[in-house]
Structures are given as C-alpha cells and as structure tokens.
Amino acid sequence: MVSTRLARMQESATIKAANRASEMLKQGIDVINFNLGEPDFDTPGHICDAAADAMYRGETHYTPAAGIPELREAIAEKLRVENGLEAKTSNVLVTPGAKQAIFSIMMSVLGDGEEAILFDPAWVSYEACIRFAGAEPVWVPTDPENGFEPYDIGEYITDKTKMIVVNSPCNPTGGVYHKKILKSIADHAIDHDLLVLSDEIYEKITYEKEHISIGAMDGMQDRTITVNGFSKAYAMTGWRLGYVSAAPDIFKGLLKIQSNSVSGATTFVQFGGVAALEGTQKPVYDMVKEFHARRDILVDGLNSIGFKCHKPDGAFYVFADVSEFGDGDQITDQLLNEAHVSVTQGSSFGESGKQFIRLSYATSQQRIHEGLERIDDILG
C-alpha cells in the first residue's frame, strides 16, 4: 500500500535509540541519556518574548512562502558579515527546520541514478533523503586520527556524481574541517562541475578550530547551497526554524517545493528568529563554554576507561572507538541493558562507524560523571 520510494528510506537510527531509552524511563528505570541531539538549555528569554509578542499582536496568519522579509534580511546580513557569503535577501528561504531544508534540497537537485558524496561517518538523514530522491549515496572514507577529515575524494567522483555533502562541524564526529580540506573539496566541485550542500547547523559550537563556510571560497558562491538554522546555537530545536541560501535557479526550485508542501515556517516563530540574530549573543557564548567543559570531562573519562577518542573541535558529540571491548552495536546494547546508559551505535552513521559509539554531552556535568562511573563499572 506504500510507495516504492518509501522503501528506500530507513527509520531514523538516532530517534530509534532515543525511543528505547524513553521506554525504559517510562518503566521507572534511571537511564542516563547520551543520545540527545539537542542542547539541554532553555531558549533565551528575549527570543521567547519576541515570539510571544508577535503571537499576541496577531502575527498568526500565513506569511510569504519564503519567509517574513525581516527574517530573510537578517539572515542575509548574518551570512554576509559572519560567513563571507555574497548572500542576497531574495535568495534566502526560511524553512521549518534545517532538516526540512535538506530534504527539499535533495528532492530539488538530485534525480534517479545520480550520486551524492557523503563523508563516512555522516548524519543519518543525509542517506535517507538521497535515497528518497532516487539517487545513490557514495561513501568517502575519513581519518579518525585526523579529525575525521576525508581523503581520496577524487577516487569516488564519477560521471553520475551531482553533489558533495559537507557537514562541518560534523554530526556524529564533532570534526571541524581545516581550510585546506575545504579547499580540496571546492577544487573537486569546480573541476567536476558539482554542487556542494554545506550543512552548517553547528557552526557556532566550536572550540579550538574556526568554522569556515565553503561557499565563501573562490568559485563556490553559485555552486554551494548553504543550510543553517536556529536549533543548535540558540537551543530552539522544538521551534523548527531553519534556512537556505542558494543561487537563484536552485532557490526557485526549493521555493516551489516549499510552496506546495509545508507552505512555510510558523509565523510568530520567525519573529523569534529575528530576535535571535539581532539580539545579544551572550547565551550562545555561555552555552558553548559549558559544552567545552563537558567535552573535556567526557573525553578524558572515556579514554581512562579504555575507549579511544580525540577531543572533537565542534558540535556536542564524541565519536568513541570501542573496539577494545567489542563492536559498537554490542557495546550500545550492553551499556543500555546493564549500565542503563543510552548511547547511539556508530554503525547508524555509516560503514566505518561499526567499531564506534556516539555520545552526546548535551547533559549536565553531574550526569556525565555518573554515566562514566556506570560505564567503568561494566567495562573498566
């Protein structure tokens, strides 16, 4: 009774893992959750106030499908000033979440039989969206000893390749790409006339390395589709607010999909987005500072137990090699069933992740310490 295209898409592995932990919590079991792909902080008050004010003054009706002018202008200004992009308000599309933006991009630019390059490991929904569009993902290996940076990219480009997907900072690894790596990706894209989807949702959550937008590099302005949003930087996951900046022809296709599907992002939420970009950034800085401290606690603790992991340079995930104790799937089940610690198996993110697990440190320092003690009791 369902379409053949639906069979190409698997259930989200990260959501599935979170649901298993939720079921145990419902049974009264104290599960320490390292699955969360969202900040455990409240949305800053000035953002909530702006959205509430908009709602109560009557901003509860349809907006233009591309978004309210105030937000599109603020996004374009942000992209020009912070990211060095030649962004125009007319080419900014506001979406109900960055995930929806990525889905629309895949459906808009990929066709049957075409290929899109993913760096292994990669966020689970990229592959699902690529397959749903009728295209095939092609996995390029990365180096765990060097920030999970990709290598031998050119060997995986064929006459069917249409797009390269870049996610820096990266989910699940926390890797932040050096300029030389981005330059290599850009050179391949230019030489083979490829598009690049640059998912920059974690751009503000970085530590030792600086985030660089590949779309700002020479020759990349018109071939880069930049995706971002408010979920991670401003703790607004439930608000479902993202955006895309793309060349005019691609923008028109994305707008066509949005107009005929979700219509647009929630009206009063968009006014919250304006406040996020134009208001104080102190809550972002404070959140990142706390994430930095948690990262160090978690990585040091995991390494002392016997896992192998480097300190990630961005996002709020640790991708830990657990091969000294078993494969990632086995350890994931063991930790949940015996230690009541919920993590995500690395195999969810690609073939290379089989010996890894992903842990999110979007939880308190106290719970991180307690989780490490439980893990050590089982495996140490």
User: Tens digits of per-residue pLDDT, 183-235?
Assistant: 999 999 999 999 999 999 999 999 999 999 999 999 999 999 999 999 999 99
Pair (76, 213) in one structural domain: yes
On whether the CB atoms of residues 60 and 66 are closer than 8 A, the answer is: no
Number of domains making up the chain: 2
- The last residue of one of the domains, among 232, 259, 278, is 278
| Model confidence at 15: pLDDT above 80 | no
Q: For position 13, what pLDDT does the model report?
A: 67
Domain boundary among 217, 249, 278: 278
State how far the Cα of 99 lies from the Cα of 132, in Å rounded to an integer: 14
Same domain, 243 and 365: no
Answer with the one of 230, 245, 278 that is the final residue of a domain: 278
Examine the pLDDT at 139 and tell me if it is beyond 80: yes
Tell me the per-residue pLDDT of 240-254, one tens digit each, with 9 for 90 and over.
999 999 999 999 999
How far the first Cα of the chain sits from its last, in Å, is 49
**CA 99, CA 117: separation in Å to the nearest integer?**
18
Query: What range defines the domain where residue 168 resides?
Result: 45-278
Stretch 18-34: mean pLDDT: 88
Say whether both 203 and 62 belong to one domain. yes
Average pLDDT, the chain: 96
Residues 300 and 326 in one domain: yes
- Same domain as 77, residue 117: yes
Closest CA to 126 of 14, 262, 33, 242: 14
Domain with 90 in it: what CATH number?
3.40.640.10
The 10s digit of each residue's pLDDT in 305-350 is 999 999 999 999 999 999 999 999 999 999 999 999 999 999 999 9
One domain, residues 255 and 342:
no
Question: For position 2, what pLDDT does the model report?
Answer: 73
Residues 130 and 187 in one domain: yes
Q: What is the 3-state secondary structure (H, E, C) of the chain?
A: CCCHHHHHCCCCHHHHHHHHHHHHHHCCCCCEECCCCCCCCCCCHHHHHHHHHHHHCCCCCCCCCCCCHHHHHHHHHHHHHHHCCCCCHHHEEEECCHHHHHHHHHHHHCCCCCEEEEEECCCHHHHHHHHHCCCEEEEEEEEHHHCCEECCHHHHCCCCEEEEEEECCCCCCCCCCCHHHHHHHHHHHHHCCCEEEEECCCCCCECCCCCCCHHHCCCCCCCEEEEEECCCCCCCHHHCCEEEECCHHHHHHHHHHHHCCCCCCCHHHHHHHHHHHHCCCHHHHHHHHHHHHHHHHHHHHHHHHCCECCCCCECCEEEEECCCCCCHHHHHHHHHHHHCEECEEHHHHCHHHHHEEEEECCCCHHHHHHHHHHHHHHHC
> What amino acid occupies position 268?
F
Whichever domain contains 329, its CATH number is: 3.90.1150.10
Angle between helices 45-56 and 267-278 (to 10 degrees): 140
Asked if 101 and 242 touch (Cβ cutoff 8 Å), the reply is: yes
Point out which residues pair with 341 in neighbouring strands: 32
Over residues 133-155, the mean pLDDT reads 96
Based on the fold, state whether residues 35 and 57 are members of the same structural domain: no
Mean local confidence (pLDDT), 367-377: 98
The model's pLDDT over 70-125, given as tens digits with 9 standing for 90+, comes to: 999 999 999 999 999 999 999 999 999 999 999 999 999 999 999 999 999 999 99
Considering the domain architecture, whether residues 262 and 306 belong to the same structural domain is answered as no
Instruction: Report whether the peptide linkage leading into residue 283 is cis, meaning its omega lies within 30 degrees of zero.
Output: no
For the beta carbon of residue 120, count every other beta carbon within 10 angstroms.
Answer: 18
Q: Are 272 and 288 part of one and the same domain?
A: no
Q: What is the pLDDT of residue 54?
A: 98
| Among the ranges given (7-11, 291-295, 308-312, 323-327), the one the predictor scored with the smallest mean pLDDT | 7-11
Same domain, 250 and 322: no
290/355 same-domain check? yes
pTM of the model: 0.95
Which pair of structure tokens corresponds to residue 91?
A: 């080419």
With contact defined as beta carbons under 8 Å apart, do 102 and 126 qualify?
Answer: yes
